[in-house]
Amino acid sequence: MFRRHPVLTALTLAYLGLVAWITLGPQPLDDRAEGLLYRALRVFGRHASTDWITYDRVEFAANVAMFLPIGVFLLLLLGRRQWWLAIILGFLMTVGIEVAQLALPGRVSDVRDVVSNTTGATLGVLLALVLTAGKARRIRRAEARSRARAVTG
């Protein structure tokens, strides 16, 4: 699997390294980014149409978005038939991160992160299934034509 897709494997490992740095680093946000985020949330909180945008919701959505590519990468590496394994691996990665965060000062382990990250990985798997459906159909048709020629030939 990894030998057949060396570039995809390298991209996947690089992205997993980035996720590890973000999730296991000593500080989740620097002071400037945190200040900007809280200023934006205060602006949203002043308007009735956007007061539903809270830190918890932004964090949840960011975690979903961060794990969506992991689902895509895992499905592409493992193949469409093993979509379920890609979801399980996404879940196990999330649990691993949360367990590791228990031992890291300044980091907070949270069950909501397991839910949001697993949701992101699952959505990534579903997205990859949709994006690869056309090629999978073409391959199945070509294989069916090849079998039909072998039987009649």
Query: Domains of the chain: which residue ranges?
Result: 6-152
Torsion, CA 78, CA 79, CA 82, CA 85, rounded to 10: 30
Q: Tokens representing 23?
A: 């999730």
The residue among 64, 67, 83 whose CA lies nearest residue 20 is: 67
Task: Between 60 and 42, name the one with better pLDDT.
Answer: 60
Highest mean pLDDT among 47-56, 64-73, 132-141: 64-73
pLDDT-derived band at 28 (thresholds 50, 70, 90) equals low
The tens digit of pLDDT for each residue in 62-120 reads 999 999 999 999 999 999 999 999 999 999 999 999 999 999 888 889 999 999 999 99
Q: How far is CA 82 from CA 74, 77, 86, 110, 125, in A?
A: 9, 10, 7, 28, 10
Query: What is the model's pTM?
Result: 0.83
Task: Between 72 and 40, name the one with better pLDDT.
Answer: 72
Compute the mean pLDDT over every residue in the chain, rounded to the nearest whole number.
Answer: 89
CA–CA distance, 104 with 98 (Å, rounded to integer): 10
What is the structure's pLDDT at 31?
Answer: 59
What is the structure's pLDDT at 34?
Answer: 67
